[in-house]
Structure formats: C-alpha cells, structure tokens
C-alpha cells in the first residue's frame, strides 16, 4: 500500500535524526553554534572547550574577566541558548 502523504526531504531528515543517536549530537552542534551567535566572536575565541552532561553546559574559558561577566548573566544566556536550539537542552552552565 502506498503512503498518500508526501513529505519534504527536510521533514524526513528531521524524523530520522529524532529516531537515531545522531539527534543528540546535532542538538549539541546547534547549541555550540548558538554560543557564538549569541555571545559573539570575542567570547567564542576565549572559549577553549565546551561539553554537555546531564543538562549542564560546561564551558572552559581563557579569561577570568570573561568568566566573571558571563557568570552574572548566565540565566539569560541559558534562556537564549535554549530558545535558539528550540527546546530546553540545558538548565545550568558551569564556567571554568
């Protein structure tokens, strides 16, 4: 029997990603890309490494000054990162 509904290629890819382990990696990529988009190139260049574990974003920074500035606005950063990704992917940021 033929399926009567047609889907766009984008929708098919999204369904595949949701059903595979690649979905989490793709969301992390979107989150890391959003970091640069939201905070800018200067902070992005000062970021050494990032990873997500248990809904917590761990960020390693070169500059203690930037770390302190981000600490004061981390609630807003969490909100904007989640909005950019399209779901609540993180609920905490640990700055190191």
SS (H, E, C) the chain: CCCCCCCCHHHHHHHHHHHCCHHHHHHHHHHHHHHHHHHHHHHHHHEEEEEEECCEEEEEECCHHHHHHHHHCHHHHHHHHHHHHCCCCCCEEEEC
User: Average pLDDT over the chain, rounded to whole?
Assistant: 89
pLDDT one-digit tens code per residue, 83-94: 998 889 999 999
**Single pTM value for the model:** 0.77
pLDDT band at residue 73, thresholds of 50, 70 and 90?
very high
Q: How confident is the model at residue 14 (pLDDT cuts 50, 70, 90)?
A: confident
Q: End-to-end distance of the chain based on CA atoms, in angstroms?
A: 56
Query: Where are the chain's structural domains?
Result: 9-95
């Amino acid at each position: 029997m033929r399926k009567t509904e047609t889907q766009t290629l984008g929708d098919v890819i999204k369904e595949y990603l949701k059903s595979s382990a690649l979905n989490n990696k793709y969301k992390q990529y979107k989150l890391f890309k959003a970091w640069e988009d939201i905070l800018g190139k200067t902070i992005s260049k000062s970021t050494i490494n990032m990873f997500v574990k248990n809904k917590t974003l761990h960020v390693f920074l070169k500059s203690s000054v930037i770390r302190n500035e981000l600490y004061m606005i981390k609630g807003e950063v969490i909100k904007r990162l989640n909005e950019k990704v399209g779901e609540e992917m993180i609920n905490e940021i640990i700055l190191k």
